[in-house]
Amino acid sequence: MARLRMSLVQVCCVAFTSLLLACTLCVEALINTACSSITATDTNIRADNVLLMATSNVGSNNDERVSVSQQRREFFRSISSPFAVSLYSSSTPIVAVAASAQDVTGEKVTVPLEWNEKIQGYLVCYRIDGDLFRAVVDTGSPFLTIPGTCDPTTKFKWGCYRNEGVPSGLKNTFEQFDGVEGEVEWRTAQFTFANATGSMIGPPKMIFGVLSPRLQGLSGGVFFGLVRDTDSWIRPSFLGQTVVEAFNIDLASAEKSLTLSTTPLIGRDDDYIQLVNDLRRRYGDPTLHYTAKVKKLTVNGSPLAASDGKPIFAIIDTGVTGMIVSREIFDERYISARAQKERKMWNDVVVSFNTARGKAVTLTADAPLTTPFGGKPWKNFDAHLIVLGLSFLEGNNLTIDISTDRLRIN
């Protein structure tokens, strides 16, 4: 009987181990399916790759508790060569000469984006220490993040955390996404985009955030932030660790893509929408969101916030599905809809901007999911604010030149 019990225990142990292995393989298979056509060569770094490098705010702050309120809502929600970004702890940029004597000027990297119906967002795939992850491309937040769990039952399959990388030397912080606050651990590891065209030189080290299970689950998922410039006390942004000067998100073509560039993408003779820094300069936004002044906002043909003389600022945010608006705008629309006995509050929404040459550019959405901010985004904020998500951006080609504050929408 003793031998029989021991055999049963051994069988159970083997079965349990096999089940765990199967679960792990299932998670990896799900991620590989989402990041299709990725080959084993996407982590190799060639000798003739080109440097892409910056280190301005690495390791600059060790505060225990840092919270960046993004006031975010509505989340459901063959390799040419890899993209690798070098990161050093020095505050002085490192200059390297590639074997082919190429110049970094005009270097670009293009990464395919994949629409996920369940998440209602565009995903980008990348590797941390060789392990595959995916995240929502987010022009409204700054950080490179990965999930902090390997739980196969997690609702959104972002990848499997196995203690990738090493401690960065930065203390854990508390960050806020989608109104949810949670702890983030900051680590450093090799980074490569999966399935990218274009190339850079290593060593490919990046600081990234490991999201706590609470933050990952309640905020709607994992985000790949493209806000570059932040206050110095904030942890390093993804683009802040590079010399990327511009990016393009192509949601108009059949093959959706993200392109990063070391030089501006908007030509000197091209028209553009001027981005403004009022939210940061006047009201204390700790991140320099990609923001433009709105010329006119109409809903169901009726103008909103047109009579109080306050400016309307619009943040371009691919991490949001619909639209977030100031409480004043939301309440004004509610009163108007009731007075007109309209069946839908937010049916036909049109947002207009002026270009540098005085032309009008409009973004439209049909019945976007719309929610109000819970309160003032910043203490002394006395203007109107809207956040335009994918309902407005789908089908457009967006280009942002970060250093020159220019936005082009085709």
Number of CB atoms found within 10 A of residue 184's CB: 22
Spacing of C-alpha 238 from chain mean position: 9
Helix, strand, or coil here: 145?
strand
Residues 38-68 as b/e (b if ≥16 CB within 10 A, e otherwise) read beeebbebbeebbbbbbbebbbeeeeeebeb
Spacing of C-alpha 138 from chain mean position: 2
First and final C-alpha spacing in the chain: 76
**Given 2.40.70.10, 3.40.50.12160, 3.40.50.1110, 1.10.3720.10, which CATH number is that of 273-409?**
2.40.70.10
Helix, strand, or coil here: 367?
coil
Q: Quote the pLDDT of residue 73.
A: 32
Helix, strand, or coil here: 19?
helix
Domains 27-261 and 273-409 share a fold: yes
25 pLDDT band, cuts 50/70/90, is very low
Dihedral, 304, 306, 309, 312 alpha carbons, nearest 10: 50
Per-residue pLDDT reduced to its tens digit, 342-383:
989 999 999 999 999 999 999 999 999 999 998 888 888 999
Q: Quote the pLDDT of residue 102.
A: 40
Q: Quote the pLDDT of residue 347.
A: 92
Q: Quote the pLDDT of residue 220.
A: 65
Contact predicate 191/126, CB 8 Å: yes
Average pLDDT, rounded, for the chain: 78
206-227: average pLDDT: 85
Per-residue pLDDT reduced to its tens digit, 154-201:
545 788 888 889 999 999 998 877 667 889 999 999 999 998 998 655
Among 117-126, 146-155, 365-374, 383-392, the range scoring the smallest mean pLDDT is 146-155
Per-residue pLDDT reduced to its tens digit, 281-302:
999 999 999 999 999 999 999 9
Please name the fold of domain 27-261. Answer: Cathepsin D, subunit A; domain 1 (2.40.70)
Q: 163 pairs with which residues across the strands? A: none
Closest by CA to 221, choosing from 301, 319, 107, 354, is: 319
What's the whole-model pTM score?
0.78
Q: How many residues are given for the chain? A: 410
Distance of CA 393 to CAs 178, 225, 398, Å? 20, 17, 8
* Statement: residue 219 has pLDDT above 70: no
Task: Return d(Cα 149, Cα 67) in angstroms, integer.
Answer: 22
The 3-state secondary structure of 57-97 reads CCCCCCCCCCCCECCCCCCCCCCCCCCCCECCCCCCCCCCC
Task: Return d(Cα 29, Cα 25) in angstroms, integer.
Answer: 6
Closest by CA to 385, choosing from 313, 279, 296, 319, is: 313
The radius of gyration of the chain's CA atoms, rounded to the nearest angstrom, is: 23
Domain boundaries, the chain: 27-261, 273-409
